[in-house]
Structure 1
Amino acid sequence: MTTETEIVEPPLRHVETDVLIPKMMRAKAKERCHQEVKDFTDCCKDSGLGMVLKCRQQNTTLRACLTKYYKDPEFYEMCKQEYLEQKREFLETGVRKSSKTSSKLPTTM
């Protein structure tokens, strides 16, 4: 039995829990680990083919930062709530919120 103040979450589909929310988590984790991403990217650009050996430390640091967010239940819950809010907004308006992470095709081909 639910009270009026209790918010009932709609059931999530398999694709939402296993694909869409984790995708959002990855994008947000990359934003939060922006310095580690930058360090790793810069190392790879400077190292050429030797990046596998030369960038191990940056790769380890980046993976540790990202994993910290992937395994954080509070971070998952935050992303889940944001996803549900976007879903509610879409169902109400029919307009999909533009996302920085969505890929766009060029207008001319």
Structure 2
Amino acid sequence: MVNEAMDEGTRKQYLADDPPTVVPLTIAPHFNALNDKEKKYAHYISRAAFSGTRINLRQVSAESEAIYDFIITLHKSCNGDWKKLASQAKLSDEDLKHFLSYAAQFIGNTGNYRSFGDSKGKS
């Protein structure tokens, strides 16, 4: 739990960024510029990286894998329609926004530690 007596600057180090930094990847032109052998290599190296996700999660923290499974299960259960899920769960738009901010950063960092400073992100 974040200490309420902490100054705001220190406290923010432990909170998920709001809004999160999300950078869209434009990969198609770069991938299309590869020859067939390079495309195959890129495919298999990305599959290997994805397959190692659970290893990374387990190395970050004991709870990271369960949080990951929770986020993925929620996404599958609503087919990506987060507003519908929030409505069914009677969550406010603000609660949904905070959850999605946390989830985006969790997935981006592959765990519940922020990418800089080794501090756990909290929503």
Question: TM-score scaled to structure 1, two decimals?
Answer: 0.31
Higher relative CO (CA 8 A, sep ≥ 6), structure 1 or 2? 2
Q: Name the structure where helix makes up a greater proportion of residues.
A: 1
Question: Which is higher, the Rg of structure 1 or of structure 2?
Answer: 1
Question: TM-score scaled to structure 2, two decimals?
Answer: 0.29
